[in-house]
Amino acid sequence: MLKFMKKIPGGLLLIPMLISALVNTFVPGFWGQFGGITAALFSSKGTNYIVGLFCFCSATMLDIKSLGKVLRKQGTLLGLKVLLCFVFSIIFMKVFGLNGVFGISAIAFTITICSLNPSMYLALVSEYGEESDKAAFGLTGLLCVPAFPILVISLSQGGTIDWMPIISTVIPIVLGVIVGNLDKDLAKMFSGVLGPLTPFMGWAFGAGVNLFDAVKAGPQGVLITLMFYILMVPIILFVETKVLKESGISTFGISSIAGLSVSIPSILAFSNPELTPYVASGTAQIAFGVVISSVLTPILAQKFAKKKGLVKS
């Protein structure tokens, strides 16, 4: 089974994610009914813990001496993504309003382009990137949490900002850096668990996806995914390859829609009832984008890596 998963681009993440999504589609809430550690491990309830654990463990790999290189490369790319998300979201909101266009609301659009699947990043840089790329997982985790698209939407609408979710993501990263730099043996131990934990992260993300709802999104789901790729990938890839003179793999790593994003429309509507009418359609469209990008991004990354001679023997 392991050899089979490794033959598929991003397979350690993708296969558990799709199996989990199938379970959630045909037997929704199956794992949650058991409660306790079963629900925490196999349902979407454990997503935040898995993401937090990945942030901590990957941060232990970040040698302070090499921090400059990580910030120069991944920091620049993530900073560019943040900038693009703000620019495109504000433009979309100003031009089309909350209702959006072609059945795609401003909420669905913003959440989609802001999305980033950190486990996909880790899977792709582990396969095609450099060893130091893994240490940037914690940085990608900053954009994974619902706080980021909520922040973008709030600013686009002129609302207030809640910084606490962002701070809660930074804390395990900082602690991981401290532990890893104080004791290199601990850093080696914690960094070694990233591979075995990858299927669990994929499972956690898939537990929030309903494939029937995703398929119902139809044309809008395809269109919103195309928007995601067209607006994000070319600009970021150009900066990574032409400006930073790097391989380009990190761009593909941060170009996949996370399963966690499926829950964000409901989170937004809970705090702002005005957004309730956009929850059902937005959730279905984002779910469709999760499925498409989870399959398409690893394929695109593999083709790009072969073209650039980055495939490891």
In tens, the pLDDT along 233-252 reads 999 999 999 999 988 899 99
**95 falls in which pLDDT band (50, 70, 90)?**
very high
| pTM exceeds 0.85 for this model | no
Residue 229 in this model has a pLDDT that exceeds 80: yes
Mean pLDDT, the chain, whole residue set: 82
The pLDDT of residue 161 is: 62
Residue 295 in this model has a pLDDT that exceeds 80: yes
Q: What is the mean pLDDT of residues 193-200?
A: 80
| 237/63: higher pLDDT | 237
Q: What is the mean pLDDT of residues 53-63?
A: 77
Domain ranges of the chain: 28-308
Q: pLDDT tens, 116-141?
A: 888 788 888 888 887 777 777 767 76
The pLDDT of residue 66 is: 64
| 161/173: higher pLDDT | 173
Q: What is the mean pLDDT of residues 285-297?
A: 87
| 214/183: higher pLDDT | 183
Residue 23 in this model has a pLDDT that exceeds 70: yes
Range with top average pLDDT, 11-20, 90-99, 170-179: 90-99
The pLDDT of residue 296 is: 93
Find tokens 């209702």 and name the residue: 99
> 28-308 sits in which CATH class?
mainly alpha
Residue 313 in this model has a pLDDT that exceeds 60: no
Residue 227 in this model has a pLDDT that exceeds 90: yes
